[in-house]
Amino acid sequence: MPHMKGDTFDKQKAYVPKPEGVFFDDGREIELLHFVYSHPSIAEIRGSPTGVLKAVDEYGRTKNYLMNVGDDKGKIVTELIAEVKPGTMVELGGYVGYSALLFGDAVRRAGGKRYFSLERNPEFAAVIMSLVDLAGLSDIVRVIVGSSSDAIKRLHAAGTLKVIDLMFLDHYKPAYLSDLKLCEHLELVKPGSVVAADNAIEPGNPPYLEYVRSSVEKKRERYDKGERNGASPSGFTDRTKNQYRSREGEEKLSAEIKGNPNLIYESKLVNSFEPTGVPSMTSKSHNVAIIGYGLSAKVFHIPLIAAVPEFKLYAIVQRSPKANDDAEKDHPGVKGYRSSEEMVNDPEVDVVVVTSTPSSHFELTKMALEHGKHVAVEKPFTHTHQEAEELIAIAKKHQRLITVYQNRRWDSDFLTLSELIKNKTLGRVTEVETHFDRHSPKVSPGREWKMQDIGGTAGYDLGTHMTDQVVTLFGMPKRITAFIGAQREGRSASDEDSCTILLHYEGMMATVKASVISPEVKQLRYWVRGDKGSFKKFYLDVQEDQLKAGKRPGDTGFGVEPEDRHGTLTTIEDGKASSETFPTVKPATYVAFYNGLAKALAGQGELPVKAEEASAVIRLIELARQSSQTGRTLDV
Ligand SMILES: C[S@@+](CC[C@H](N)C(=O)[O-])C[C@H]1O[C@@H](n2cnc3c(N)ncnc32)[C@H](O)[C@@H]1O
């Protein structure tokens, strides 16, 4: 798409700024008609869509603000029209006809037949008709007066509208999703249809964006549950919700419609400018800088960031690139920094992702926060929980967000287990075993150097993942007993490579286990028992291996566990046990972490992992190591 961040706006064509209070329906629309019809060049304007548009722009520049799509954003859609060549195009929300003139003309030039402009306000609709007539576009543009959902139903029932090749959504924000689902339901929007939505990011339309970006599986799950459009819109400000209320009354959404969950949307965000010169959409896109260019950056963070449209990989800090390992070569166009100090002074950086060695997390995170950046820290958050608390305080002071990449909260088998526990299938849980075992009896320095300066891999690496999962499900334990040591031959006990951590709860014990000596055909992952059932699961989540093999979020099968790896659910009825394979849920995938962060940055949700939660986990790891060193059970 042509208009990306960095493009400039031609100030000469700027409309007058949008006023804080009333900005439409105060007589300006009729005044616009008089302005156009009494224009000195009316003779040349007649019959010319471009001429009428020019006159409308002149009014917006010299008289009053108009909520038109404008020249810049308009270009994105006219280019789309030239590409898609729609036979039939529909716009929801016509206002004074700017988009109808611009796009109706483009549809005609691309060989299309019909442009429907749906406008709820009859006075605005009359303005559109008048300008369309003046521009000589009456043969192609039809203005339909009424609320979009009623109009769509009527056009469909009359057989006038059979398919929508291209749809432009620019009306009542909460109706974007309900009207899209209505069009899916009536099979007006079907495979091959293209939908362009204005203001999806700014001022924002989270329900719509979430829907078009959801997987078919997720949509189907909701559909099967009977989820319909909410009659009362959520996720919008009152100003947006009530925008047209005073004149038009309450907007009625077609709440009975469930849509077609089987459609797959390819979703793209495009940055541009409002006709006033205010950037549209760009303001909420965040430049990300990654500190460190090792496995974690390459395998996890970079592909996941690339999957979230609100983020742009902007810079990578790599201290010493090598001929065969050079971030700048691997990512042309991304800024390369040799030092984090230099990077944090770059005002373009919005979010810093810290993937360097764990012992450096504290200092680098502190520095980034103090330079006004939001920070996502790779796990383990810090070495000590005092450090973690200090970072939380610094983030608060600077009003920045801080989160920790505890990605295993989005392991598909963990989400499956969470479901089983939440819906009480297992009854009252009495024992949890969570394992991260492998058979690697030889020391492999490549894997472990990263953790050596904070005491080996066991507690801080695998321990933090698994403890975080347990705490996410059950909260903080009351006491802790641990054995953390070395299983590999010839290692001193302080070279921790394995751990058994017992987390004591009221009436429940959780065992967190990481072993490096575990000769098995298939490794145990979870064994969770309750008074109604038990869940046993082998194998690890597939995402890490898939990412390492080059598979990317959005690729077919990403995150999906093969059926022969699914877990077993055993339940008891009348004292008799029976077992069945229990399907692993379809994954939210690790992208959920960055999607959550984007939402939190937009003020539309909580952080995906709260730093306080990650700090509590570090505290448990510290206690576990202390318990192991002293041979005692410790209170938490
Ligand atoms: C942002 S303006 C449209 C601007 C227009 N597309 C352009 O670029 O020239 C939004 C319009 O949607 C109309 N509208 C709001 N809710 C509507 C609904 N449910 N059905 C049809 N039109 C609606 C408003 O009356 C307003 O004129």
CATH number, domain of 333, equals 3.40.50.720
Residues whose beta carbon lies within 6 Å of some atom of ligand 1? 67-69, 91-95, 98-99, 118-121, 124, 147-148, 170-172, 175, 244, 251
463 in a structural domain: yes
Helices (H) and strands (E) in the chain, counts: 24, 22
For residues 321 and 462, state if they share a domain.
no
List the one residue out of 123, 132, 130 whose CA is nearest residue 28.
123
* Cβ neighbourhood burial of 506 (10 Å; 0-12, 13-18, 19+): exposed
pLDDT of residue 441: 83
Domain boundary (405, 438, 463) is at: 405
For residues 254 and 350, state if they share a domain.
no
Question: Ligand 1, residues 102, 124, 170: which to mutate, most atoms within 8 A of Cβ?
Answer: 170
Extract the tokens encoding 365: 């995170």
Extract the tokens encoding 197: 């939505």
593 in a structural domain: yes
Strand ranges in 242-296 using DSSP code E only, listed in sequence order: 272-273, 279-280, 286-291
Cα 624 to Cα 462, 464, 467, 634, 635: the distances in Å are: 13, 11, 11, 8, 11
For residues 158 and 221, state if they share a domain.
yes
CATH number of the CATH domain containing 474: 3.30.360.10
Name beta bridge partners: 90: 116, 167
Amino acid type, 559:
G
Please, are residues 169 and 238 in contact by the beta-carbon 8 Å criterion? Answer: no
For residues 99 and 180, state if they share a domain.
yes
Instruction: Look at ligand 1, atom 11, and give the residue with the nearest C-alpha.
Output: 93
Domain boundary (235, 254, 280) is at: 280
Domain boundary (280, 302, 337) is at: 280
What's the complex ipTM? 0.99
CATH number of the CATH domain containing 227: 3.40.50.150
For residues 136 and 50, state if they share a domain.
yes
Instruction: Look at ligand 1, atom 6, and give the residue with the nearest C-alpha.
Output: 94
Please, are residues 514 and 499 in contact by the beta-carbon 8 Å criterion? Answer: yes
For residues 301 and 274, state if they share a domain.
no
Cα 301 to Cα 156, 340, 353, 548, 559: the distances in Å are: 46, 17, 8, 12, 16
What domain range includes position 238?
11-280
Task: State the residue for tokens 């793209």.
Answer: 268
pLDDT of residue 496: 84
List the one residue out of 90, 257, 99 whose CA is nearest residue 160.
90
pLDDT of residue 450: 53
For residues 62 and 105, state if they share a domain.
yes
For residues 436 and 388, state if they share a domain.
no
Name beta bridge partners: 325: 322
Beta pairing class for 351-354 and 498-505: unpaired
Please, are residues 518 and 439 in contact by the beta-carbon 8 Å criterion? Answer: yes
Structure letter (DSSP) for residue 495: S
6 in a structural domain: no
Question: Ligand 1, residues 30, 119, 242: which to mutate, most atoms within 8 A of Cβ?
Answer: 119
Distance CA(541)–CA(538), nearest Å, equals: 10
Distance 66 CA to ligand 1 centre (A): 12
Size of the chain, expressed as the number of residues it contains:
636
4 in a structural domain: no
In the chain, the number of structural domains is: 3
Number of alpha carbons in the 13 Å side-chain half-sphere of residue 277? 12
Residue 239 DSSP SS3 = helix
Strand ranges in 6-105 using DSSP code E only, listed in sequence order: 88-92
Distance CA(213)–CA(307), nearest Å, equals: 11
Q: Which helix (H) or strand (E) holds 484?
A: strand 479-485
Question: Ligand 1, residues 71, 121, 149, 236: which to mutate, most atoms within 8 A of Cβ?
Answer: 121
pLDDT of residue 281: 46
For residues 97 and 199, state if they share a domain.
yes
Q: Which helix (H) or strand (E) holds 311?
A: strand 311-317
pLDDT of residue 406: 96
pLDDT, block means (10 residues), the chain with 636 residues? 50 89 94 98 97 98 96 93 96 98 98 98 98 98 96 97 96 92 94 88 74 82 78 66 77 80 80 72 72 93 91 94 93 93 94 95 97 95 95 94 96 95 95 93 62 66 93 97 87 80 97 91 96 96 92 88 95 92 90 93 87 97 94 96
For residues 367 and 462, state if they share a domain.
no
Beta pairing class for 479-485 and 634-635: antiparallel
* Cα angle, residue 358 at apex, residues 356 and 362 outer, rounded to 5°: 90
Q: Which residues of 139-175 are buried (b: 16+ CB within 10 A; e: fewer)?
A: ebbbbbbbbbbebbbebbeeeebebbbbbbbbbbbbb
179 in a structural domain: yes
526 in a structural domain: yes
5 in a structural domain: no
Extract the tokens encoding 476: 């903080």
2 in a structural domain: no
For residues 539 and 596, state if they share a domain.
yes
For residues 423 and 397, state if they share a domain.
no
pLDDT of residue 448: 53
